[in-house]
Chain A
Amino acid sequence: MMNYFPDEVLEHVFDFVTSHRDRNAVSLVCKLWYRVERYSRQRVFIGNCYAISPERLIARFPGVKSLTLKGKPHFADFNLVPQDWGGYVQPWIEALARSRIGLEELRLKRMVVSDESLDVLSRSFTNFKSLVLVSCEGFTTDGLAAIAANCRFLRELDLQENEIEEKKNHWLGCFPDSCTSLVSLNFACLKEINLAALERLVARNPNLKSLKLNRAVPLEALQRILMRAPQLVDLGTGSFVLDRDSDDSETYRKLRTTILKCRSIRNLSGFLEVAPHCLPAIYPICVNLTYLNLSYAAGIHGSELIKLIRLCGKLQRLWILDCIGDKGLEIVASTCKDLQELRVFPSDPFGAGHDAVTETGLVAISSGCPKLNSLLYFCQQMTNAALIAVAKNCPNFIRFRLCILDPTKPDPVTMQPLDEGFGAIVQSSKRLRRLSLSGLLTDRVFLYIGMYAEQLEMLSIAFAGESDKGMLYVLNGCKKLRKLEIRDSPFGDMALLRDVGKYETMRSLWMSSCDVTLGGCKTLAKKMPRLNVEIINENDQMEFAPEDSQKVEKMYLYRTLVGPRKDAPEFVWTLV
Chain B
Amino acid sequence: MSPPLLSAEEEGGQSNVSLVSSSPTMDCISQSGSGLKERNYLGLSDCSSVDSSAVSSLSEEKKNNLNLRATELRLGLPGSQSPERESELCLLKSGKLDEKPLFPLLPSKEGICLPSQKNVVSGNKRGFSDTMDGFSEVKSSMYTEGNWMFQTASDSEAPQSVGQGKFSGNSGMNVALSPRPSGAQPAIMKELPTKVLQQERPRGTNGTSHNPKTASNNNNSSAPAPKAQVVGWPPIRSFRKNSLATTSKNNDEVDGKPGPGALFVKVSMDGAPYLRKVDLRTYATYQELSTALEKMFSCFTLGQCGSQGAPGREMLSESKLRDLLHGSEYVLTYEDKDGDWMLVGDVPWEMFIDSCKRLKIMKGSDAIGLAPRAMEKSRNRN
Determine if A498 and B148 form an interchain contact, defined as CB atoms under 8 angstroms apart.
Answer: no
- Contacts A466-B166, A501-B5 given; indicate if A472 touches B105 (C-beta within 8 A): yes
Determine if A423 and B104 form an interchain contact, defined as CB atoms under 8 angstroms apart.
Answer: no
Q: Interface 1/0s, chain A 7-41, versus B by CB < 8 A?
A: 00000000000000000110010000000000000
- Is A370's beta carbon under 8 Å from chain B? no
For A415, the chain B residues whose CB sits under 8 A away are 162, 209
Within 8 A of A (CB), among B228-266: 229-241, 243-244, 247-248, 250-251, 260-261, 264, 266
Determine if A574 and B28 form an interchain contact, defined as CB atoms under 8 angstroms apart.
Answer: yes
Q: Interface 1/0s, chain B 24-45, versus A by CB < 8 A?
A: 0111111111101101011110
- Contacts A411-B150, A476-B104, A545-B32 given; indicate if A189 touches B165 (C-beta within 8 A): no
- Is A313's beta carbon under 8 Å from chain B? no
- Is B349's beta carbon under 8 Å from chain A? no
- How many residues in B have their beta carbons less than 8 Å from beta carbons of A? 114
In angstroms, Cα B104 to Cα A574, docked, is 33
Beta-carbon nearest neighbor of B211 in chain A:
A415
Determine if B4 and A78 form an interchain contact, defined as CB atoms under 8 angstroms apart.
Answer: no
- Is B67's beta carbon under 8 Å from chain A? no
- Is B286's beta carbon under 8 Å from chain A? no
Within 8 A of A (CB), among B342-359: none
Within 8 A of B (CB), among A482-518: 487-490, 493-494, 496-502, 504-505, 512-515, 517
In angstroms, Cα B379 to Cα A321, docked, is 41
Q: Interface 1/0s, chain A 410-431, versus B by CB < 8 A?
A: 1110111100100110011010
Beta-carbon nearest neighbor of A525 in chain B:
B26
Determine if B172 and A541 form an interchain contact, defined as CB atoms under 8 angstroms apart.
Answer: yes
Q: Interface 1/0s, chain B 295-332, versus A by CB < 8 A?
A: 11001000000000000000000000000000000000
- Is A84's beta carbon under 8 Å from chain B? yes
- Contacts A350-B260, A463-B168, A498-B42 given; indicate if A380 touches B204 (C-beta within 8 A): yes
- Is B60's beta carbon under 8 Å from chain A? no
For B105, the chain A residues whose CB sits under 8 A away are 450, 469, 472-473, 476
- Is A95's beta carbon under 8 Å from chain B? no
For B158, the chain A residues whose CB sits under 8 A away are 416
In angstroms, Cα B93 to Cα A512, docked, is 35
Determine if B247 and A298 form an interchain contact, defined as CB atoms under 8 angstroms apart.
Answer: yes
- Is A143's beta carbon under 8 Å from chain B? no
A-B contact pairs, 15 of them (CB 8 A): A296-B247, A348-B260, A349-B260, A350-B199, A388-B92, A427-B98, A442-B165, A463-B165, A489-B166, A504-B4, A523-B41, A539-B173, A548-B32, A564-B28, A576-B25
For A25, the chain B residues whose CB sits under 8 A away are 1
6 A-B pairs with least C-beta separation: A501-B4, A78-B232, A490-B166, A84-B274, A488-B168, A493-B41
- Is A283's beta carbon under 8 Å from chain B? no
CB distance from B231 to the nearest CB of A (A): 6
In angstroms, Cα B241 to Cα A431, docked, is 32
For A349, the chain B residues whose CB sits under 8 A away are 234, 236, 241, 244, 260-261
Q: State which of B32, B145, B166, B244 has its C-beta within 8 Å of the C-beta of A347.
A: B244
Of A252-260, A329-337, A400-408, the stretch lying at the interface with chain B is A400-408
For B273, the chain A residues whose CB sits under 8 A away are 84, 569-570
For A440, the chain B residues whose CB sits under 8 A away are 162, 165
For B275, the chain A residues whose CB sits under 8 A away are 83-84
Determine if A442 and B92 form an interchain contact, defined as CB atoms under 8 angstroms apart.
Answer: no
CB distance from A102 to the nearest CB of B (A): 29
Beta-carbon nearest neighbor of A274 in chain B:
B247
Q: State which of B26, B73, B274, B296 has its C-beta within 8 Å of the C-beta of A444.
A: B73
- Is B161's beta carbon under 8 Å from chain A? yes
List the interface of chain B (C-beta within 8 A of A). 1-2, 4-6, 8-9, 17, 19, 22-23, 25-34, 36-37, 39, 41-44, 47-50, 54, 65, 69, 73, 88, 91-94, 98, 100, 103-105, 145-146, 148-150, 152-153, 158, 161-162, 164-168, 170-174, 177-178, 193, 195, 198-199, 201-206, 209-210, 213, 227, 229-241, 243-244, 247-248, 250-251, 260-261, 264, 266, 273-277, 295-296, 299, 339
Determine if A447 and B233 form an interchain contact, defined as CB atoms under 8 angstroms apart.
Answer: no
For B146, the chain A residues whose CB sits under 8 A away are 389
CB distance from B255 to the nearest CB of A (A): 10
CB distance from B110 to the nearest CB of A (A): 20
- Is A287's beta carbon under 8 Å from chain B? no
- Contacts A441-B165, A444-B73, A465-B165 given; indicate if A409 touches B206 (C-beta within 8 A): yes
CB distance from A498 to the nearest CB of B (A): 6
CB distance from B361 to the nearest CB of A (A): 15
In angstroms, Cα B247 to Cα A168, docked, is 23
- Is A553's beta carbon under 8 Å from chain B? yes
Determine if B4 and A502 form an interchain contact, defined as CB atoms under 8 angstroms apart.
Answer: yes
Determine if A427 and B92 form an interchain contact, defined as CB atoms under 8 angstroms apart.
Answer: yes
In angstroms, Cα B31 to Cα A516, docked, is 19
In angstroms, Cα B94 to Cα A392, docked, is 9
CB distance from A314 to the nearest CB of B (A): 26
- Is A129's beta carbon under 8 Å from chain B? no
- Is A540's beta carbon under 8 Å from chain B? yes
CB distance from B370 to the nearest CB of A (A): 20
- Contacts A79-B277, A551-B170 given; indicate if A350 touches B30 (C-beta within 8 A): no
CB distance from B37 to the nearest CB of A (A): 6
Beta-carbon nearest neighbor of B245 in chain A:
A298
Q: State which of B22, B213, B250 has its C-beta within 8 Å of the C-beta of A408.
A: B213
For B48, the chain A residues whose CB sits under 8 A away are 499, 501
In angstroms, Cα B129 to Cα A295, docked, is 44
Beta-carbon nearest neighbor of B11 in chain A:
A527
Beta-carbon nearest neighbor of A529 in chain B:
B8
Q: State which of B65, B91, B244, B296 has its C-beta within 8 Å of the C-beta of A298.
A: B244
Q: State which of B28, B30, B150 has its C-beta within 8 Å of the C-beta of A385.
A: B150
In angstroms, Cα B152 to Cα A149, docked, is 66
In angstroms, Cα B33 to Cα A299, docked, is 59
- Is A462's beta carbon under 8 Å from chain B? yes
Beta-carbon nearest neighbor of B338 in chain A:
A168
In angstroms, Cα B150 to Cα A414, docked, is 8
- Contacts A83-B275, A462-B233, A504-B2 given; indicate if A168 touches B339 (C-beta within 8 A): yes
Determine if A298 and B4 form an interchain contact, defined as CB atoms under 8 angstroms apart.
Answer: no
- Is A82's beta carbon under 8 Å from chain B? yes
Beta-carbon nearest neighbor of A75 in chain B:
B232
Determine if B170 and A513 form an interchain contact, defined as CB atoms under 8 angstroms apart.
Answer: yes
Interface centre among A405, A464, A498, A529 (most CB of B within 10 A): A498
For A546, the chain B residues whose CB sits under 8 A away are 29-30, 32
Q: State which of A272, A406, A490, A549 has its C-beta within 8 Å of the C-beta of B39.
A: A549
- Is A477's beta carbon under 8 Å from chain B? yes
For B171, the chain A residues whose CB sits under 8 A away are 541, 550-551, 553
- Contacts A388-B148, A476-B54, A502-B49 given; indicate if A523 touches B206 (C-beta within 8 A): no
Interface centre among B23, B48, B145, B203 (most CB of A within 10 A): B145
- Contacts A502-B49, A504-B4 given; indicate if A427 touches B93 (C-beta within 8 A): yes
CB distance from A112 to the nearest CB of B (A): 12
- Is A5's beta carbon under 8 Å from chain B? no
